[in-house]
Amino acid sequence: MWAWVIIIRNIPLVAAASKGQQPFPNIPFSVFSKFVEDNFASTVSLSTVLMLLFTITENTDLFSLHFFQRSGEHGSKKSPPATGWIRNLGTAVKRRLDENQAELLSEDDVDAHSSEQKSSIAIGIKMDALAVVLGLHPFNKAGKFKGKLKAVSHKQIQAVYSLCPNTATCQTMDCNKKALYQNTKPADLGLVTFIKDFTVYDDVPVYSGLCKQCGTIYYADHERSSGGQQHERVYLNSAKYIKIGQNMWVD
């Protein structure tokens, strides 16, 4: 009961959080790909690039501080590209890279004898440049500071969720792990509200799976087997999601 009180109280906060945000950067993928190719090691992994991208989009406050210091406006002394803000963020990113034994910089940026500080500065400058490419810099065309960057909305890149059985094979002993076939007709496809990690997703499809050998139908939270003229419904303790009411599922 208390879990639902927490969910209900937090849903408005999730909705409110989307106000006052800017859209996720919508640059052509070719531009992003070329930046990665020109600025990072040829062996850089997808996970490392995505980590760097989301580090930028999740730290707009820090980038506002960094870019304003760089601008030298309002009597401030104009700063070189590697402000203390971006150097510290570069240090945090380098720490993550070291933990994951991941590679980011090329040999043109650093070598085996480069200091920790030089590596952190190099990473920070790369993030500065990538933020500009992404359009996450608070300057107008005349180079004037427009104001603090807004938080970045990640709604455009949210995954498309589906609710389906969490087993890939039939669990009936006699079936010997037969495959499950998609059993939901397009006309019967249900679109529901799905709450995951206190975030609300609308129009999420719900699918069922059918074992053609024994006739058992599997759902996201239960299975239904045929026993003579009656159907037996068994709810699963291993279910990742549960159904609440007619059109709502939660994790």
- Mean pLDDT, residues 133-148 taken together: 84
Give the residue with greater pLDDT, 76 vs 138.
138
- Mean pLDDT, residues 201-208 taken together: 92
Residue 79 is predicted with a pLDDT of 65
In 133-198, DSSP assigns E strands to: 181-182, 190-196
CA distance 132 to 35: 11
- Mean pLDDT, residues 168-180 taken together: 89
Output the pTM of the full model: 0.78
Q: How many CA atoms lie within 13 A of 115 on its CB side?
A: 3
Helix axes 116-133, 84-100, angle to 10 degrees: 110
First to last CA, the chain: 15
Give the residue with greater pLDDT, 154 vs 8.
154
Contact (CB, 8 A) for 220 and 206 = yes
